[in-house]
Structure 1
Amino acid sequence: MCDDATASAGPRPFSSDEAASVCEVWQELGLPGLIDVHTHFMPKSVMDKVWAYFASAGPLVGREWPITYRADEDSRVATLQGFGVRAYSSLVYPHKPDMAEWLNGWAADFAAHHPDCLHTATFYPEESATGYVSKAIQRGTRVFKCHIQVGDYSPLDSLLDGVWSQIADSQVPVIIHCGSGPAPGRHTGVEPIRALLHRFPSLPLIVAHMGTPEYLEFLELAERYPNVRLDTTMSFTDFSEADAPYPKEALGRVRDIGDKILFGSDYPNIPYGYPHALEALIRLDLGDDWLRGAFHDNAAALFDVTN
C-alpha cells in the first residue's frame, strides 16, 4: 500500500521508496490513485519472447532497450498495486494468424483473477476475426489492442470490416499502435487511420504513444473526431525525447484537448523507472487539472472506473 514517505532521488525499481514517490504524485493532486491504460501482461511464453526481442534490439525496437521491470507476474501486479494504480490493461497482440483468439482467452482469465485489470482483447485480419471479436464483446471486453507495427497488417484489410463495425457499434475502445515509432512498418503512419476514420467516424480509438513520431497528424485527428483519444505512453520521457521530441509549439493544443489524454506507461517494458513516466508529464507544466484528467479522471470516465 502507499504511504506518505518522501521518495529519494532516483528510487530503485520495486523498492518502497519508488512506490512512495509514485503515490506522492497522485496524492498531491487529490486523486484516489492512477489509471494506466497501457500496460502489458501476456502468457509467460509470449512475454519471454517479447523480452528476448527487446534484449536483441530487434529491427522493430531500433535501439538498446533494457526492460526495467522484468520480474514474475505476481511481482509485477503487486508493484502496480503499490503504486496505487486502480486500473490497468493486459495488452496482448498477435503477430500471425490463429493467435488472437488464444490470447483473448488468456486475457479473459487474467482479468477474472485480477479485478483491477480492464478485460482486454485483440484481433488480427483473418476469417475468424469477426466471430471472436463478437464473442469478446459479449463476454465483457472493456478494451481492445491493435498493433499495426508488430502485426504488419493494414487496418483497412477487408477481413477487419466486421471487426471495426462491431467496435463502432459497441464503443469498446481500441488502443492502437499506428504511429511509425520506434521503427516504421509497412502500414504505420496516419494515412491508413485517416482512411479508417473516414469509413467509421465514430470509432473509439486511443492512439498509443501520442502517435510517435507523427504527433501533429494524430493530434489533428484527436481534435477532429470526437471518439479519438491519445495515450501518453513513453511520450515526453527523456528516452523518447532523445529520438522523437514532441513539438513544443503543439503543447497548447495538447492542453486544449486535455479530456482526451490518457496516461499510459508501457509497464513493464520500459527502459527507465515508472516515476519518470509521471514526471515527464508533470514537467510539461500544463496545469493540475490537466494532470488530474490524464492520470486518472479521463480514463475513469471512459472505462467507468468507480470502485
Structure 2
Amino acid sequence: MNDDEVPGFWRALGLPGLADVHVHFLPPRMLRRVWAHFDSAGPLVGVEWPIRYRWSDAERVAHLDKLGVRAFTALAYAHRPDMAADLNAWTLAFARDTPGCLPSATFYPEPGVLDYVTEALSAGARVFKLHLQVGAFDPLDPALTPVFGLLADAGTPIVIHAGHAPIGAQYTGPEPFAALLARHPRLTAIVAHMGSPNYAEFLDLALSYDRVALDTTMVFTPFFDQLVPFPSDELARLRDLGLAGKVLLGSDFPNIPYQYADQLNGLINLDLGDEWLRAVCWGNFAGLFTMERAV
C-alpha cells in the first residue's frame, strides 16, 4: 500500500478515518533546525534520516486530509529553558486554525512551569509532549512534581519519548519512567515509539498502570526494523493491550524517511486482526480524546 491507497485501508475497516497521536507541527525556525539535525545525522539521530515530507504546513495538512487522518496532534517539545511557553502559544494557535488538530502543548523544568502549563490547559490544551532524550532532563525534577500532579488530576495525556531509541540519554529508558509512574501512578501517559528498544519493559508498565498506553510511532516499519525490531514473542501482549485501549497509532509525520503508508503496512503485517487495527487506528484515540471535540 502507498499513500494514495490509505483511504481504501480505513474504509475497508469501516472507520471514519485515522487518528494519529504523534504528529509534529513546529514554528518555522524550530522546524528548520530539527530538519537540519536529521539531515546531518546528528548525535541524537545517529543514522541517515532523509525527511520525506519536507513541505509547508499547508501542504502537510492537506496531505493528512488526503490520507484521511481526521484527528492528529501538533507536538512540540522544549529542550532548554524559556522555550515552552512560546511553543505553546504557537501550537495552540495552530490547532485553532487547523481542523482536526488536537490542541497540543509542552513543558520543561524551569521557574514558572506550573503557571504556563495551567495557562495552556485554560487555553484548551488536550495533550502534552515531553522528550526526555532531546530535553535531557530528569522527569523527577522537583519543578515538575506539581505539573505532573496537575495533569494527573486533569487526566490530560502526555506523549512522552521515554525510550532510548534512536540514541539513549541519561534519563531515557524504563527506569526513569517507572520512577515517574511510582510517584504519579494516575498519570495519563502515552509512551512514544513503544519505548523502543526496551519494548518488554514498557509493555510491563502499560499492563501495570491503568493510564499508561503506547504509540506505534515508527515501530514495525522496514526502516525501524533494521534498527530495533519488535520481538515476535511479545505480539500476544501487544494484541491484548491494543484491544484494551492501550496502543494508539503514531507516525512521527512529517519527520520520517519513508511514506506514511509504511506505518500502516507494518501494522497490517502483524496479522493481529481487523478488530485490533480498528482499535489502534481510531477507537483507542476516540476513547482517550472525545472525538467530537478533537475533530
- 1:104 Cα deviation (Å)? 0.3
- After superposition, residues 266-277 of structure 1 pair within 5 angstroms as 266-277=252-263
1:213 counterpart residue number? 197
How far, CA to CA, are the matches of 1:47 and 1:270 in structure 2?
13
How far, CA to CA, are the matches of 1:23 and 1:154 in structure 2?
41
- 1:257 Cα deviation (Å)? 1.0
1:163 counterpart residue number? 147
Question: Aligned with 2:226: secondary structure?
Answer: helix
Question: Structure 1 runs of 4+ off > 4 angstroms?
Answer: none
- 1:68 Cα deviation (Å)? 0.4
- 1:243 Cα deviation (Å)? 1.2
- 1:186 Cα deviation (Å)? 1.1
1:187 counterpart residue number? 171
Return the TM-score normalized by structure 1.
Answer: 0.93
**Amino acid corresponding to residue 114 of structure 1 in structure 2:** T
- 1:115 Cα deviation (Å)? 2.4
1:128 counterpart residue number? 112
Identity of matched residues, %: 52
2:274 counterpart residue number? 288
- The structure 2 residue matched to 1:90, chosen from 74, 80, 87, is 74
Instruction: For residues 111-157 of structure 1, give each alpha carbon's deviation from its aligned partner in whole angstroms, at most 9, with x where no partner exists.
Output: 11012100000000001111111111111111000000000101111
**Amino acid corresponding to residue 148 of structure 2 in structure 1:** W
How far, CA to CA, are the matches of 1:202 and 1:286 in structure 2?
29
What RMSD, in angstroms, separates the aligned Cα atoms of the two structures?
Answer: 0.8
1:5 counterpart residue number? none
Q: Confirm or deny that 1:25 pairs with 2:9.
A: yes
How far, CA to CA, are the matches of 1:183 and 1:209 in structure 2?
13
Q: Confirm or deny that 1:137 pairs with 2:121.
A: yes
Instruction: For residues 26-79 of structure 1, give each alpha carbon's deviation from its aligned partner in whole angstroms, at most 9, with x where no partner exists.
Output: 011000000011000000000000000000000100100000011111000000
**Amino acid corresponding to residue 254 of structure 2 in structure 1:** P
1:6 counterpart residue number? none
Question: Aligned with 1:121: secondary structure?
Answer: strand
**Amino acid corresponding to residue 165 of structure 1 in structure 2:** G
Question: Aligned with 2:185: secondary structure?
Answer: coil
- The structure 2 residue matched to 1:71, chosen from 51, 55, 61, is 55
Return the TM-score normalized by structure 2.
Answer: 0.97
Instruction: For residues 255-277 of structure 1, give each alpha carbon's deviation from its aligned partner in whole angstroms, at most 9, with x where no partner exists.
Output: 01112100000000001111111
Q: Confirm or deny that 1:154 pairs with 2:135.
A: no
1:260 counterpart residue number? 246
- The structure 1 residue matched to 2:30, chosen from 27, 30, 46, is 46
How far, CA to CA, are the matches of 2:8 and 2:92 in structure 1?
32
1:241 counterpart residue number? 225
How far, CA to CA, are the matches of 1:196 and 1:151 in structure 2?
16
How far, CA to CA, are the matches of 2:68 and 2:99 in structure 1?
14
How far, CA to CA, are the matches of 2:159 and 2:260 in structure 1?
20
Instruction: For residues 2-23 of structure 1, give each alpha carbon's deviation from its aligned partner in whole angstroms, at most 9, with x where no partner exists.
Output: xxxxxxx6x4xxxxxx33x110
How far, CA to CA, are the matches of 1:238 and 1:177 in structure 2?
21
- 1:208 Cα deviation (Å)? 0.3
Residue-pair matches, total:
291
Structure 2 segments unaligned to the other structure (5+ residues): none
Question: Aligned with 1:183: secondary structure?
Answer: coil
**Amino acid corresponding to residue 238 of structure 2 in structure 1:** V
Q: Confirm or deny that 1:60 pairs with 2:50.
A: no
**Amino acid corresponding to residue 50 of structure 1 in structure 2:** V
**Amino acid corresponding to residue 117 of structure 1 in structure 2:** C
1:177 counterpart residue number? 161
